[in-house]
Structure 1
Amino acid sequence: MARKSQTIALLIFFVAAALSKTSYATVISTYWGQNLYEGTLKEACDTGIYDIINLAFLNVFGGGQTPSLNLAGHCDPPSGTCVIFGEQITYCQGLGIKILLSLGGAAGNYYLSSQDDAQSVADYLWNTFLGGRTSAGPLGDATLDGIDFDIEGISNLYYDDLARFLKEKSESVYLSAAPQCPFPDYYMGAAIATGLFDTVWTQFYNNPPCQYSDGVTDDLINSWNQWTTSINVTNLFMGLPAAENAAPSGGYIPVDNLISDVLPVIESTAKYGGVMLWSRYYDVQTGYGASIKSSTLGDGLVSSS
Structure 2
Amino acid sequence: MALWRTNLKVALAILLSVLICFLAVPSSATPADNRTGQVTVFWGRHKDEGSLREACDSDTYTTVIISFLNVSGHSRYDLDLSGHPLTGIGNDIKHCQHVGIAVSLSITFDGSKNTLPTNQSALNLSDHIWNAYLGSSGKGHLDVLARELAKRSIRGKTLHLTATPRCNFPGSLTTGIFERIHVRYYGDHAGNCDNWDDWADGYPSSRIFLGLPASPEAVKEGYLYPKSLYYGILPVAQMSANYGGVMIWDRFYDRASSYSSCVNRWA
How many angstroms does 1:260 deviate by? 2.4
Equivalent residue letter for 1:197: F
What is the distance in 2 between the residues matched to 1:272 and 1:284?
25
What is the distance in 2 between the residues matched to 1:74 and 1:29?
20
Equivalent residue letter for 2:235: P
Equivalent residue letter for 1:234: S
What is the distance in 2 between the residues matched to 1:123 and 1:92?
25
TM-score by length of 1: 0.70
How many angstroms does 1:261 deviate by? 2.1
How many angstroms does 1:208 deviate by? 4.5
How many angstroms does 1:43 deviate by? 0.6
- Indicate the residue corresponding to 2:253 in structure 1: 282
Which of 177, 185, 198 is equivalent to 2:163?
Answer: 177
Q: Tell me the secondary structure at the aligned position of residue 253 of structure 2.
A: helix
- Indicate the residue corresponding to 1:205 in structure 2: 186
How many angstroms does 1:61 deviate by? 4.9
Which structure has the greater CA radius of gyration?
Answer: 1
How many angstroms does 1:274 deviate by? 0.3
Which of 240, 244, 258 is equivalent to 2:216?
Answer: 244
How many angstroms does 1:210 deviate by? 3.3
Greater CA drift, 262-271 or 37-46: 262-271
What is the distance in 2 between the residues matched to 1:68 and 1:208?
28
Q: How does 1:153-302 map to 2 (within 5 A)?
A: 157-170=140-153, 172-181=158-167, 183-184=168-169, 189-206=170-187, 207-210=189-192, 220=194, 223-248=195-220, 250-293=221-264, 295-296=265-266, 298=267
Q: Is the 8 A contact 1:61 1:109 kept in 2?
A: no
How many angstroms does 1:230 deviate by? 1.2
CA deviations on 1:222-272 (whole Å, 9 max, x unpaired) are x21111111243310010111112111x11111122122221221111110
Greater CA drift, 87-96 or 167-176: 167-176
Q: Is the 8 A contact 1:61 1:121 kept in 2?
A: no
Q: Percent identity?
A: 32
Is 1:87 aligned to 2:96, yes or no?
A: no
How many angstroms does 1:53 deviate by? 1.0
Q: Which runs of 5+ in 1 are unaligned?
A: 1-20, 76-81, 135-154, 212-219, 299-305
Task: Check 1:204–1:110 CA distance in 2 against 1; reply closer, same or farther (3 A cut).
Answer: farther
Q: Is the 8 A contact 2:35 2:245 kept in 1?
A: no
Equivalent residue letter for 1:50: Y
What is the distance in 2 between the residues matched to 1:210 and 1:162?
26
Is 1:133 aligned to 2:136, yes or no?
A: yes
Which of 28, 37, 42 is equivalent to 2:53?
Answer: 42
Is 1:71 aligned to 2:53, yes or no?
A: no
- Indicate the residue corresponding to 1:97 in structure 2: 101
How many angstroms does 1:117 deviate by? 1.2
Alignment size in residue pairs: 231
What is the distance in 1 between the residues matched to 2:113 and 2:71?
5
Q: Is the 8 A contact 1:57 1:70 kept in 2?
A: yes
Q: Tell me the secondary structure at the aligned position of residue 83 of structure 2.
A: coil
Bigger share in helix:
1
Q: Is the 8 A contact 1:44 1:280 kept in 2?
A: yes
- Indicate the residue corresponding to 2:127 in structure 1: 123
How many angstroms does 1:35 deviate by? 0.3
What is the distance in 2 between the residues matched to 1:110 and 1:35?
28
Equivalent residue letter for 2:66: L
How many angstroms does 1:30 deviate by? 1.0
What is the distance in 1 between the residues matched to 2:65 and 2:184?
14
Higher relative contact order structure (alpha carbons within 8 Å, sequence separation ≥ 6):
2
Q: Is the 8 A contact 1:60 1:110 kept in 2?
A: no
Q: Which runs of 5+ in 2 are unaligned?
A: 1-32
State the Cα RMSD in Å. 2.3
What is the distance in 1 between the residues matched to 2:87 and 2:186?
33
TM-score by length of 2: 0.80
Greater CA drift, 54-63 or 121-130: 54-63
What is the distance in 2 between the residues matched to 1:64 and 1:24?
41
Task: Check 1:271–1:24 CA distance in 2 against 1; reply closer, same or farther (3 A cut).
Answer: closer
What is the distance in 2 between the residues matched to 1:57 and 1:92?
18
What is the distance in 1 between the residues matched to 2:183 and 2:97?
24
